[in-house]
Structure 1
Amino acid sequence: MDGQEGRRWRVPPKVVGVKCAAVVAVGALAALSGGDSQRLLLAGAAALGLAAVALRDLLAPVRVAADREGVTVVTGYAGHRRVPWDAVTAIRVDERRRLLLHTRMLEIETADDLHLFSAFDLGADVHDVADDLYHLRARTTR
């Protein structure tokens, strides 16, 4: 894909770096638990969970890619699914406010699936990504 024909949105390398650093820090905490089995278990489980999340970011950093033919989204742990534009039924941003939290998710809907992505997944504001996807899709449906 070149810059004019397609776009890619990926997990920012800095976010991946922070996750990897967290794995090391929590792993060190587990190693330094000093024989406290509860602390070792808790820190070890946290390190494994963080490692799984960081590994996913390393294996599938590009979460959404789009071009004139369609959109490719990450599915499962690190798989990808190619969806032609005519199979995309909706592109929208879902915003929710609960207590002090404000979440925004990009939704890419097909007849049989709903793919959700946050700004942390995309490395960009979800509204901007949705606008870019609308424009790419509009260019191909004319």
Structure 2
Amino acid sequence: MDTEIVLNQTSAEREKPSKFSEPEKMVIRARRTAFVARFIVLRESKRTRAHRVIELLEWNDLTEVEALAATFRKAFEENGDNMVPVDRDIRRALAHSSRSLNHFIREYCTRATNNFIDALIDYERSNALLFGDDESPKPGGWRLPSELMKQREQAAL
């Protein structure tokens, strides 16, 4: 599954003027950030090979949440996972991305990332703020961002 190509624009597409206004871009970034943050939490106690695919995903700044959700879902389908809990978690994360948006649009927009590794780093930072360094929840279904960055660097060589 070559998800980076699916989610990233080609260089020709990047050169075209955006069809979105700046407030619309903020909503796209904020919804995607809220979705990914909630999805990380919902899936953190589960282990599956689909997580390994998702952990290495990258996306464009204007990738919409529905496209990202579909890509996440496809990773689980291709892995042969039971789709009932996956669909439930995706549905909940999508609902969260709409529900909390009005109150936190600026916050989510400033935390917007273009890859899953940076989203995991943001998640760890949030946990440290909430729980303190000593009491942060231990990672479960996701690998540590430091491990993923090493893997990404080795793949680039």
Higher relative contact order (CA 8 A, sep 6+): 2
Q: The TM-score by the shorter chain falls in which range?
A: under 0.3
If the length of structure 1 is used for normalisation, what is the TM-score?
0.24
Choose between structure 1 and 2: higher helix proportion.
2
The structure that is strand-richer by fraction is 1
Compute the TM-score of the two structures, normalised by the length of structure 2: 0.23
- Higher Cα Rg, which structure: 1
